[in-house]
Chain A
Amino acid sequence: MKIISKNKVKKVDEMFFKNLKKGDSKTLQSFYDIYASSIYTTILRYVNHIPDAEDLLQESLLKIIDSLDKFSYTNESAFYSWMKKIAVNLTLNYLRDQSKFQFVDEYPLELIPDLNDDEQLNNLELNPNELLRMISELPAGYKAVLNLYVFEQYSHKEIATTLGISESTSKTQLMKARKLLKTKFENKYSFNIQQYERV
């Protein structure tokens, strides 16, 4: 299944891009209004500390503005993906600098179950805020792999290259992240049942 972003219906065209390159102040303001929130949310999925996330947002936006010359505008979707990639890379570099990643390859590759043999999320009544909080509570390594795999849609090979780990480690981390998330979902669900039973 290919997931296509549908949330970016913005008034961004080639003229907008050119004005942005020129440094037009109104375009800069529009640029911030259009993209800051989504980039900030992306960063927050990796970094759960708000001041750090805001610093990274600033750094990412500046880097994007600085690198506009290197990007040839084709369409808005490509532009957004390119910006998101810059923000993710900066965030990962930041986490790496902070030595936040701890990847332990505990399981041999053959023992990792097939990803399609999945844990299902039935009857979930999660809102995005709760889910974001749960994801942000994951250990940094799990979180990075999960985010890259699910939201950035990297393959395990790409994740391995980006994070400097092996493919099997990437798969292990993803599996653990899913299990941990599942536990969190179940806890929340059982808590709701308990509340219901008390009444």
Chain B
Amino acid sequence: MKEFNKMEKSIYEIMEGFELTPSVGQKDIFLKNVLEKKAAQKRKKLGFIFIAGFSCLVALSSIFFMNHEKSATIKSNIASQVTSNAANPSSISRNETTEVNPVQNTISDKQSIEKESIKNSSEKQSIPNSVVSKQIIQQNEIPTNQNISSSWNQPVVNSTIQSDKSIIIEQNPINTDTVENIIVVSKEENDPYIPVISLNKNQSEIVAQTQDHLDTNKSEAPINEPNKTKKISAFNMVFIQELETSVGIYYRPEVIFNIIENDKYIHNFGIEFKFHPFNPRYEIRTGFGLSVSKGYYEYQVDYNQYLGSYNSLDSVSFTVADNGFNLIPEYHFSNADVYNDYLSTYYTKIYRQHIYLQIPLEMGYDFVKTKKNAIGFRVGPTLSILMNQKPINLQYNAGKDKVVQINRITPDRISANWQLMGGLNFAHSLGHFIFEIEPRITYYFNSVYEKNDLSSSPYSVNLRLAIGYK
């Protein structure tokens, strides 16, 4: 609660309720500005949603594309391995780790090995042998050896082919009453599960799996556990089993072109996170950082030049002299400034510092990858949001001149803009640390200014220096 003296109270009371109306056109300007701003915000929001959606789409497409590629590779490896093992049993006998149990029943000569692709595991279990059979390899086509051929008369339990590290054969005691043939089940094109080799339709299975899966699941799934075929989803393959991550910091000096200001240097720094979703060659990089740039804004100053001052006589008061007959004048002066009526113009600049928050989403592939070094490309969008701008230097001092009007010539900075970068990445690993250097080119989708005074968008060259820890 404030205490006013009488003068302040009088001022307040005189001014209370007093209002001046702005000029007529101001209302239209206000409504136009608001509607334009709302429309711009809407456009920005839609643009953000579109680009975010597009980025997600690209990322998901990449994941599924690579997953498909990987699965195809696994499939072909397994197929070739099965074929070669069948053709060259000695290789199997060399590599297998077999626990041989007494056989209860023998597999008849009529038994065959069928190789089939099924779409998913449920189908695999439900489809009868007669339906899924496509290719029948007669037993007599399978060369025999000491281990395998003899074991046809014995149930083989927990057989694992390890040399190629791509196949495990897991088998339960075979009941020949139910076992009619051996089914080699491979993976369908879009099947998210890895290939399996099954011995029979409901009881015994020979399961072929990737070594990656074996390595991580040997301890979790004992190989003598009956009737248990491990299934690995694409998500697990990509994000859990093979996901390599690292964290790091970066500094990125940047020189920007096609902007109004002369000061083109930008300093970017921040924290980043890297993921290698498919194998170490592929990389998704994101994080957050700050971009600090300095620029000046040009102003047009209209002023009346100060010419000097004089003592202006404000009033004269008279006092009666001691003799009572004379009046003594007392002159009251005040200092009055004199200005040139002619309006002069001066152009000046104010430096401002801009701080942007940057959120990149970059993807890359290393086309050269050794144990310690890697060379690859990186590409992706970056969102920049203007966080703060503050004046840091004023180049104009009006002095005693009377400033009449100031117009800013340089438009304001836009609050958010999108960039697309492309660069060549050189990385060197030293223990857990990764040192990276990355020359890049960045293209700005929209101008950094609110009013696009330039016909073409800005672009920049920059050099990213980073240290990561994995």
Residues of A within 8 A of B (CB): 1-3, 5-7, 23, 25, 28-29, 32-33, 36-38, 40-41, 44, 49-54, 57-58, 61-62, 65-66, 97-99, 115-121, 124, 126-129, 131-132, 135, 149-151, 153, 155, 178, 181-182, 187, 190
State the CA gap A32–B7 with chains docked (Å): 32
Residues of A within 8 A of B9 (CB): 1, 3
| Cβ contact within 8 Å between A29 and B22 | no
Q: Do A128 and B15 form a contact, CB below 8 Å, given A62-B34, A121-B6, A182-B7?
A: yes
Stretch at the interface among B23-31, B123-131, B461-469: B23-31
Complex: A166 Cα to B3 Cα, angstroms = 20
Q: B398 an interface residue at 8 Å Cβ cutoff?
A: yes
Whether B38 is near chain A, meaning CB under 8 Å from some CB there, is yes
Would you call B16 and A6 a contact (CB within 8 A)?
yes
Is B359 close to A, CB under 8 A? no
| Interface residue SS majority, chain A | helix
Is B33 interfacial (CB 8 A cutoff)?
yes
In the complex, chain B residues whose CB is within 8 Å of the CB of A149: 8
Q: Is the interface of B mostly helix, strand, loop or mixed?
A: mixed
| Contact yes or no, B404 A49, CB < 8 A | yes
Q: How many A-B residue contacts, CB cutoff 8 Å?
A: 132
A37 near B315: Cβ-Cβ < 8 Å: no
Q: Is the CB of A99 within 8 A of B20?
A: no
Q: Is B34's CB under 8 angstroms from A118's CB? A: no
- Residues of A near B37 (CB, < 8 A) are 62, 65-66
Q: Which listed residue, A52, A66, A121, touches B406 by the CB 8 Å rule? A: A52
Chain B residues contacting A181 (CB-CB under 8 Å) are 7, 11
In this complex, what residue of A is CB-closest to B23? A54
Q: Which residue of B lies closest to A38 (CB)?
A: B19
Query: Could you say which of A2, A36, A66, A99 contacts B27, with CB atoms under 8 Å apart?
Result: A36
10 contacts between A and B (CB under 8 A): A1-B3, A3-B2, A3-B16, A36-B27, A44-B20, A61-B34, A98-B406, A117-B5, A150-B12, A155-B2
What is the CB-to-nearest-CB distance from B87 to chain A, in angstroms, rounded to a whole number?
72
Give A114's nearest chain B residue, CB to CB. Answer: B5
State in angstroms the CA–CA spacing of A58 and B23 once bound together. 12
On whether A118 and B26 interact (CB within 8 A), knowing A3-B12, A62-B37, A66-B37, the answer reads: no
Cross-interface CB contact of A54 among B2, B22, B394, B398, cutoff 8 Å: B22
Residues of B within 8 Å of A40, CB to CB, are: 19-22
User: What B residues does A6 contact at CB under 8 A?
Assistant: 16-17
Residues of B within 8 A of A58 (CB): 26, 29-30, 33
B19 & A190 in contact (Cβ 8 Å cutoff): no
Per CB-CB distance, the 8 closest pairs between chain A and chain B, nearest first, are A118-B5, A128-B18, A7-B17, A37-B19, A121-B10, A40-B22, A120-B6, A41-B20
CA distance A173 to B34 in the complex (A): 38
CB-defined contacts of B76 to chain A, threshold 8 Å: none
Give Cα A50–Cα B20 distance, bound, in whole angstroms: 11
- CB distance B38 to A36 under 8 Å? no
Contact B26–A3 (Cβ < 8 Å): no
Chain B residue contacts of A28, Cβ below 8 A: 30-31, 34
Inter-chain contact B33/A62, CB cutoff 8 Å? yes
Give Cα A116 to B12, complex, Å.
16
Nearest CB to that of A7 among chain B residues? B17
Contact B22 A132 (CB under 8 A): no
B342 within 8 A of A: no
Q: Which residue of A lies closest to B350 (CB)?
A: A97
- Measured in the bound complex, the distance between the Cα atoms of B10 and A181 in whole Å is 12
Please give, as numbers and ranges, the residues of chain A lying within 8 Å of B329 by CB-CB distance. Answer: none
- Shortest beta-carbon distance from B301 to chain A in Å: 9
Q: Are B26 and A151 in contact (CB under 8 A)?
A: no
Residue of A nearest to B33 (CB): A62
The reply to whether the CB of B220 lies closer than 8 angstroms to some CB of chain A is no
Q: How far is the CA of A87 from the CA of B8 in the complex (A)?
A: 22
Flag whether B430 is at the interface (Cβ < 8 A): no
Distance of A40 Cα from B397 Cα, bound (Å): 27
Closest to B317 in A: A190
Task: Give me 18 other A-B pairs in contact (C-beta within 8 A), A61-B34, A127-B14, A150-B4 excluded.
Answer: A1-B9, A7-B17, A7-B19, A23-B38, A33-B27, A36-B22, A38-B19, A54-B23, A57-B26, A97-B350, A99-B398, A118-B8, A120-B7, A121-B6, A131-B11, A150-B8, A187-B315, A190-B315
Instruction: Kindly state whether residue B391 has any CB partner on chain A within 8 Å.
Output: yes
On whether the beta carbons of B4 and A3 are closer than 8 Å, the reply is yes
A30 to chain B, nearest CB (A): 11
Q: How long is the Cα–Cα vector from A132 to B20 in the complex, in angstroms?
A: 10
A40 to B23, CA, bound (A): 10
Task: Tell me, in angstroms, the Cα distance from A115 to B37 when the chains sit together.
Answer: 46
Residues of chain A contacted by B26 (CB below 8 angstroms): 36, 54, 57-58
B residues near A135, Cβ cutoff 8 Å: 11
Whole-angstrom distance between the Cβ of B17 and the nearest chain A Cβ: 4
Q: Given the complex, which residues of A lie within 8 Å of B19, measured CB to CB?
A: 7, 37-38, 40-41
Q: CB-defined interface of B376-420 with A at 8 Å, one 1/0 digit per residue? A: 000000000000000100101110000111100000000000000
Q: How far is the CA of A190 from the CA of B17 in the complex (A)?
A: 28
